[in-house]
Chain A
Amino acid sequence: MENQNQLFETPENSGQPSVRIIAVGNAGDALLGALGTPEFAGAEFAAINTDAAALVASSAKVKIHLENKLFRGLGSGGDPERGKALAEEQFSMLKSACEGASVVFILAGLGGGAGSGISPVLAKAAHEAGALVLAFVTLPFECEGNRREAQAQTALEQLKSAADGVICLPSQKIFKLIDENSTLVETFRVTGGFLIEGVRGVWSLLTRPGLIQVHFSDLCALIRDRHAENAFAFVEASGPGRAREVVEKILNHPLLDEGRALAESDAVLVSLTAGKDLTMSEINRVMEQVKRQCVHAQIVMGAAADAGLQDKLCVTIIAARQNAAVTSVTPRAESHSVTATTTHSHREPALPRQRKRGAVAKAVQGQLPLTIVSKGRFDKSEPTLHRGEDLDIPTFIRRGVAMN
């Protein structure tokens, strides 16, 4: 590998924050591919993967292949521990890859080996390199199985404690939005699209010259050390009634839980972008509604003009909620956890950097899943199958709850 300090040229000090977008794993790569538009001209792209073949196909400028001879270039095989071990091994390289950037975006799909294993380590590395870390991640679909779900949840927890902000998109939520007949490719495009919108929103926030500037430091202040769960939405509308339309879209946005996420948040960033014809009354109309929704939140607002948008009005909202006791984001658990979140809102003190991030993962001796879980007294009876799950197997085993 080439000299690592020269992975990126040192950013010119133009006052603009230098943004590095790093994709992790195959899903991250795919997202990165969709970002390759001229809009992101100022950003530096990198891809990290354990799978050599996928990395070759990646469009990123800098490619970091995490390798271990033992894996023969086959990737992490869906095991986050492997991905993690590899990343820990190459920690210094990851760190140097983040050196010089003021913001690092991590794009990943959690649930698999690379995304779940590497992302938390990368976030830590970037943080140590002095960058603000924002992770954009997707959670697997429910049908991908409990194991992936559990892996994704664990990784999300780790990522939340390592990164400054995590914007997380449970794919299952999207599932409800798409038409039943849409193809797999379309589905992935839509899920990816939501995440990309988020990246785009934050990106334009940071780079577009603003009428009411959201400074980089505002963003930092909003998300730094909150280790927060963020919800975001990007909506746009055009035409004469665009302000009203935008507000409606925000209030019905599925990723904001039809506006409920706003009510629960304690910091909200709103960025409006429109053509030169953006009026104060439009800003007022949008902000009025947002303010009404989030009573408790600190609101940071920005507005920018972009001639290219013509008569479109785009609004990006990031709502951050400080780490509540309930961290589960799975759509299934969510319906039950609503009350829990409100009652349990014990706040974690926003400790700076030195919080313990767990011991360094070691490469674990793998085990083939040959041990058959005994069903005890139900061994010989007809299995109780419910949506493909054998209910005779103890719940705590199926859910992967550790007992030790």
Chain B
Amino acid sequence: MFDDSNIIAGLEIGTSKICVVVGEQNADGALNIIGLGQSRSRGVRKGEIINPEQVEEDLRGAIFEAEQMADVEIRSVYLGVSGGHIRGFNNRGVHPVVSADREISQDDVDDVVKNAKAINLPAENTVIHAVRQHFFVDGQDGVTQPVGMLGARLEVDMHVIHGHANRLQNIVRLVRATSLEVDDVVFNGIATALALLTNEQKELGALVIDIGGGTTEFVVYSDGVIRHSGVLAVGGDHISNDLAYGLKVPLTRAEKLKLEYGTALPTATAKGQTISITNDLGLELKRLNHEHLQKIMSLRLEELFQLIAQDLEQAGLTDYLRAGVFICGGSSRVPGIVQLAENVFQMNVAPGHASAVSGLTTALDQPEFATAIGLVKFGSLKNRRRAGRASIMGGIKGGIKGVFNKMLPRS
């Protein structure tokens, strides 16, 4: 392992593309993006691997490109994971303070965190992240550092993200097969939020939606801590598939139509218009209704946002999003998507930019790279903590811990 190295790589194996971002951390802990590589992904559906060989091939291509660009050798990566099997929920752990003087010690804190993690998961599931939210000391809310305080009863709220162990293991094994080390496994949604949100936005409360090719991840921050997370196995592929089905065209054609003519909201100008499809020789093959194309896309995206909005409403978080909603991922390029999201969520919506890091501006501006950049950032924060420096990232409060590491040696 190269814990002391200042090169950090983030790897996201997505449904439509595999993406590697290389960052360099200088002595002050500041992060600079120096390289990126990507390749089309062919062996992934809905964020999960269906053809390992193909993924491996594509992965090598992306890594090679990133190494060339950054002029470094990548030996280990922070690996982003997603998929419909991943769930997040909040859990509370309780621990009575037993010492004679009632002073809370580090041991008490460790115990209460352990209690909060002891949850009933299905046997085949494993915890990816367990993030500390707040401590309660004798019911007093919002304590961030209880060590040294007096109290009889210590409680902690944790946000736990878990997923299917074998499926997570598959992707780790695959990366290892290409002779790369896996530093840590990170949920894509958390990585994206790290890249997009500033500390202030996390304090105010924000929703990050990453609409990828096969999955959509969403994460809610408020009061500086992660409150809610989830994955819907619906993404840009679904839009293409809907179009292919509704307009009766092949999937590849639907993909092109989506990029060329797609909008998130039906436009007035498209009414009654047709799009003609021509073959290689320029002969017309078919005419399509432009309005239908827009309607099919709009319905799908609207539904996606509605599902997320419903989920947040159930979690009671709708009123906490004072910084608004941030959208990224490939599908956030669809024109009008911000307007559509504003209609559904009834709040400010902005396209997300990876603002919190410096480096290659071409990479930072593209919504597709947000997750991989976030992975690098995750790595840099971890390194910084390991180096014993004071954490300036108030946002994660030093709470994210790769429990997943424990199971890595098994493979």
Contacts and interface: CB of A to CB of B under 8 A. Distances in A.
B246 A396 contact: yes
A371 interface: no
Given A336-B346, A374-B245, A399 B299 contact: yes
B343 A395 contact: no
Chain B interface, DSSP helix/strand/loop, else mixed = helix
B351 interface: no
17 contacts: A335-B346, A336-B306, A377-B237, A378-B45, A378-B238, A381-B50, A391-B232, A391-B233, A391-B303, A391-B307, A394-B241, A396-B246, A396-B299, A397-B245, A399-B299, A399-B303, A401-B299
Contacts of B84: 382, 384
Interface string A185-198: 00000000000000
A210 to B, nearest CB: 44
Interface string A32-57: 00000000000000000000000000
Given A378-B241, A403-B296, 7 more contacts: A376-B241, A381-B46, A386-B232, A391-B307, A394-B246, A396-B242, A397-B245
A264 interface: no
B307 A386 contact: yes
A391 B304 CA distance: 9
Interface residues of A, number: 23
Given A378-B241, A381-B50, A392-B238, A401 B295 contact: yes
Contacts of B292: 403
A21 to B, nearest CB: 38
B233 A403 contact: no
A176 B50 CA distance: 43
A384 B232 contact: yes
Nearest to B240: A377
Contacts of B244: 376
Contacts of B246: 394, 396-397, 403
Contacts of A381: 45-46, 50
A61 B242 CA distance: 52
Interface string B282-307: 00000001001001100110110011
A118 to B, nearest CB: 30
A339 interface: yes
B300 A394 contact: yes
Contacts of B296: 394-396, 403
Interface in A320-352: 332, 335-336, 339
A353 interface: no
B251 A376 contact: yes
A346 to B, nearest CB: 14
The size bracket of the interface on B is 20 to 34
B346 A339 contact: yes
Given A336-B344, A378-B241, A392-B238, A384 B299 contact: no
Interface in B363-393: none
A396 B344 CA distance: 17
A399 B245 CA distance: 15
Contacts of B295: 396, 401, 403
B396 to A, nearest CB: 29
Contacts of A401: 295, 299
A375 B45 CA distance: 13
A332 B313 CA distance: 11
Contacts of A396: 242, 246, 295-296, 299-300
A394 B346 contact: no
Contacts of A394: 238, 241-242, 245-246, 296, 300
A335 B233 CA distance: 25
Contacts of B300: 394-396
A339 B342 CA distance: 11
Contacts of A336: 306, 343-344, 346
B234 A377 contact: no
Given A374-B245, A394-B300, A396-B246, A384 B46 contact: yes
Contacts of A339: 346
- For B244, B245, B295, the residue with the greatest tally of chain A CB atoms inside 10 Å of its CB is B245
Interface in B300-344: 300, 302-303, 306-307, 310, 343-344
A277 to B, nearest CB: 46
A149 B155 CA distance: 45
A394 B304 CA distance: 12
Contacts of B242: 394-396
Interface in B195-249: 232-234, 237-238, 241-242, 244-246
Contacts of A377: 45, 237, 241, 251
Contacts of B241: 375-378, 392, 394
A391 B234 CA distance: 7
Which 5 A/B pairs are nearest by Cβ-Cβ distance? A394-B242, A384-B233, A376-B241, A395-B299, A395-B300
A375 B84 CA distance: 17
Nearest to A337: B343
Contacts of B251: 376-377
Nearest to A340: B343
B206 to A, nearest CB: 20
Contacts of B45: 377-378, 381
B376 to A, nearest CB: 30
Contacts of B303: 391, 395, 399
Contacts of A373: 245
Nearest to B83: A382
Contacts of A335: 346
A276 B289 CA distance: 67
A74 B299 CA distance: 37
A382 B83 CA distance: 11
